[in-house]
Amino acid sequence: MHTLTILYGSQTGTAQDLAEKFWCLARSTDLSCKLFALDDIDFDYFINNCKYVLFIVSTTGDGDEPDNMRQFWRSIMRRTLTNKHLEHIYYTLIGLGDSNYPKFNFVAKKLSKRLEQLGANMICNKVLADDQHPHGIDGSIDEKFTSEFWLNLSKLIGVELQPMPEKRLPSKYKVEWINENNIINSNYSNGNSDYHYTSSNTVRHKFYSVPLISNKRLTPNDHWQDVRLLEFDIQDYKQELNYHCGDVAVILPNCSLIHIETLAKLFNVELDHEFYIRSITDDSTPYDENRLYTVREIFSEYLHINQVPNRSFFDKLIWFSNKNEHEYERLKELTQRENIDDLYTYCHRPRRTCIEVLQDFHQTTSLIPFNYVFDLFSLIRPRSFSIASSPLIHLNYLQLIVAVVKYKTIIHTPREGLCSTYLSKLNINEHVKMYIKSSGTFHLFNDNLPAIMIGPGTGVAPFHGWILERVYHYGYHMNMLLFGCRNKNADAFFENEQNWQTMIDNKQLVYIAAYSRDQNEKIYVQHKIIEYGQMIWTWIHDLNARIYLAGNAKNMPEQVCDALKTIIMKYANLNEDDANQYIKELEKTKRLQRETWS
């Protein structure tokens, strides 16, 4: 019996979802298939037992590997491996990346080069999917890769593989309902394949529950955007939630009640109904077999029920659809490869959620056994926020700046970001699940070399605490902050803070703000960098300043780097190539660092 091993490295869950999709397809053939997060497979086991391997890896941060493949990465990049080590392995690879970022798909590119170096053979050419493709990552993967992959794999193992996306697979879990007479009803499923599932983000980390002590809106009520300053009391977990400036707080949000209720109605279940969850395999799960769960709990704390669905969600809906109904016809249309535009217009662009799709397909939904909710929805993914306070200044508490995501599309109900909405609606003394992790890319140096901080919008968060710490704890007075926002009177978050003004008056902080909408032409931080070029260059070149850049990943980082390049060319009298080289050197020596998010 041949076994295909699917290994994924996933940060936001997209790679994991895709891996599960391929796992489903493989299971619909006679192929045995194993699925692991890369760090969940023992490296020795991988080398000695895997023959056919599909890697699905994303690239995160500044060209970094996802958290759940760090260990594997360290193992495979070991110098002592030779070009014989993997010569018995056949692999192919799907890279997930976003060409908005400079280090597009670096993890996938490096991994495939390394696998080749170690002697691995290819099943078919790798594919580097780009989230900027008009059809998202599906757009890059569908065209050629899938057919080539199954065809070549069939040839290699000598068995024809014809995946059937419509074949209904057993659920990951069965559910044992409880009523007054104990267990009354079980949804049994026959598992025929191994399923190794850990959401490394939720299972591995222990979250600590901390109370909210203040939730203040930083922008005026008539401003379009709601930005919050949230404060949490962490003194019960001083050790566990010990942090440094530049670190990140990871928060596990809940889905909101209105969505939970809508979904329960669609599935025709009571929110307070209790049940046990039994895994069909022995593999690790986020659920405890020995405790009772309620529908409410599962929908609010575990499953991301109002996510925008991906293709595999529709593939699964088809399993339950009644073949004679209009819903079945429509689902077939939406899942056909040629109709990806259609699916895109229906779901992706208007940011339609799973619940809204299930409303449209309510007949099909009513036929779905409840235990399949674990297959349809992915686990709620924790979200990271740069911490805005300093442990040395804001003793015993922790601050976050959160811009609430809310916008409209053609769908009448406004779209809301899961975590920011959850946080903004929290009341005082409500508890939030949180842990601390170091940013990985951002390392704020606590020495007296000058610091140039560039943090437009909520990018100012990590600097807010750090500047206070540098000035009032360490006594370092060479601090420059380039901040950007729309209006001085609306979203210049900290200008009214007493400390802030004192530091500016005492020349402990050089504060340069770009208010993009306060005049006709738009002025951003990059324009201010050029305007204050002489001073910034002196800080960089003569005073050995370090530059820290934080904020939205979209266009800002590249434009800021262009502005830095401009002043380097101008004041150092260098040509463009040399200026690029100069910036590269700054990055290499950690004198230019960026922490960006989307």
Partner 1 sequence: MDEIFANAKSILIVWFDSAKTENLLPFKEKIQMKAKQAEISFENAHMLNESKRQSSSFDIIIYGLIIEQDIWPSIELLNELFRLLKPNSYIITHIAQDKEVNALDRFKMCGFVNCNKLDNNSSFLMELKDYSTRQLGSLWLCQKPSFDIGYSVPLKNIKQSQKQVPSSKPNNVWKINANDDDDDLIDTDALLDEEDRKKPDIKNYDCGTASNGVRKACKNCTCGLAQELEKSEYDSAAKNVKSSCGSCYLGDAFRCAGCPYRGLPPFQPGERINIPTMSDV
Q: Which residues bind partner 1 (CB under 8 A)?
A: 43-44, 47-48, 71, 74-75, 77-85, 87-88, 99-100, 102, 104, 106, 109-110, 113-114, 117, 128, 130-136, 139, 326, 330, 334, 338, 341, 345-346, 348-350, 352, 356-357, 359-362, 407-412, 585, 588-589
Q: Which residues pair with 407 in a beta bridge?
A: 415
Q: Of the two residues 196 and 330, which places its CB atom closer to partner 1 in the complex?
A: 330
Q: Of the two residues 175 and 586, which places its CB atom closer to partner 1 in the complex?
A: 586
Phi and psi angles of residue 327, each rounded to the nearest 5 degrees, phi first? -65, -40
Tokens of 434: 């949180």
Distances (CA, A) of 485 to 246, 493, 503: 21, 9, 20
In angstroms, what is the minimal distance from the CB of 77 to partner 1? 5
Q: Of the two residues 63 and 286, which places its CB atom closer to partner 1 in the complex?
A: 63
In angstroms, what is the minimal distance from the CB of 12 to partner 1? 16
Task: Enter the DSSP assignment of 484.
Answer: E
In angstroms, what is the minimal distance from the CB of 404 to partner 1? 17
**Residue that is written with structure tokens 């850990």 in the block:** 198
Taking the C-alpha atoms of residue 535 and residue 13, their distance in angstroms, rounded to an integer, is: 43
Helix H segments across 92-135? 106-117
Taking the C-alpha atoms of residue 577 and residue 575, their distance in angstroms, rounded to an integer, is: 6
Taking the C-alpha atoms of residue 276 and residue 184, their distance in angstroms, rounded to an integer, is: 12
Q: Of the two residues 62 and 176, which places its CB atom closer to partner 1 in the complex?
A: 62
In angstroms, what is the minimal distance from the CB of 110 to partner 1? 5
Q: Of the two residues 307 and 479, which places its CB atom closer to partner 1 in the complex?
A: 307
In angstroms, what is the minimal distance from the CB of 370 to partner 1? 22
In angstroms, what is the minimal distance from the CB of 313 to partner 1? 13
Q: Is residue 125 packed enough to be buried (19+ CB in 10 Å), middle (13-18) or exposed (0-12)?
A: middle
Q: Of the two residues 25 and 128, which places its CB atom closer to partner 1 in the complex?
A: 128
Q: Of the two residues 71 and 384, which places its CB atom closer to partner 1 in the complex?
A: 71
Which of 466, 471, 418, 470 has the alpha carbon at shortest distance from 442?
Answer: 466
Angle between helices 556-572 and 576-588 (to 10 degrees): 120
Angle between helices 326-335 and 311-320 (to 10 degrees): 150
In angstroms, what is the minimal distance from the CB of 98 to partner 1? 10
Task: Enter the DSSP assignment of 303.
Answer: B
In angstroms, what is the minimal distance from the CB of 583 to partner 1? 13
Q: Of the two residues 272 and 329, which places its CB atom closer to partner 1 in the complex?
A: 329
Phi and psi angles of residue 81, each rounded to the nearest 5 degrees, phi first? -70, 145
Q: Of the two residues 114 and 196, which places its CB atom closer to partner 1 in the complex?
A: 114
Q: Of the two residues 84 and 291, which places its CB atom closer to partner 1 in the complex?
A: 84
In angstroms, what is the minimal distance from the CB of 75 to partner 1? 5
Tokens of 56: 């699905």
Distances (CA, A) of 508 to 460, 503, 533, 544: 17, 5, 20, 17
In angstroms, what is the minimal distance from the CB of 584 to partner 1? 9
Q: Which residues pair with 401 in a beta bridge?
A: 229
Buried b (16+ CB within 10 A) or exposed e, 383-418: bbbbbbbbbbbbeeebbbbbbbeeeeeeeeeebbbb
